[in-house]
Amino acid sequence: MVMVTEEIKPEDIMAEESWEEGWKEEDWEIVEITECPKCGSKLEIKQFDVDFLNGRITVHGFEKMYCPTCGYVFMNSKQAQLYEALLDHFTELDKLYCITVSKIQV
C-alpha cells in the first residue's frame, strides 16, 4: 500500500481566490455589563468594605456592581483590576513589613 501525501503551504492557500470566504473582520470593544446576569434588572454601583490579608486590612468604600432586585454583587472589569492591584500591593507590602492593623472609630 502506497500512501500519497501532499504538502500544502499557507501561501498556496492564501493565493486562491476564495480563501477569505466565510471570514469576516469586525471592530468590537468590551462593553461593561449594565444588567444583572442573574435576574436582568438594572445594576447600581454600591460601596462595600473589602478585606485583604485575611481581614488584617479593610478598604472602606470599594465600589462593586450591585443588583437592588436580587442582591447579586460582583466586580466589573475596572473594579476587578483595582482589586487585583490592591491585593498585589498589600501582599508585597506584607512580605516587606510586619503589618499591624488596629480598628479606628468611624
Share of the chain above pLDDT 90, in %: 39
More confident residue, 78 or 98: 78
Domain 33-96 belongs to what architecture?
Roll (3.10)
Instruction: For 81-96, write each residue's pLDDT tens digit.
Output: 999 999 998 888 888 7
Indicate whether this model's pTM tops 0.75. no
Domain residue spans in the chain? Answer: 33-96
> pLDDT tens for residues 48-78?
999 988 888 889 999 999 999 999 999 998 9
46 and 60 Cβ atoms separated by less than 8 Å = no
CA dist 60 and 71 (Å) reads 19
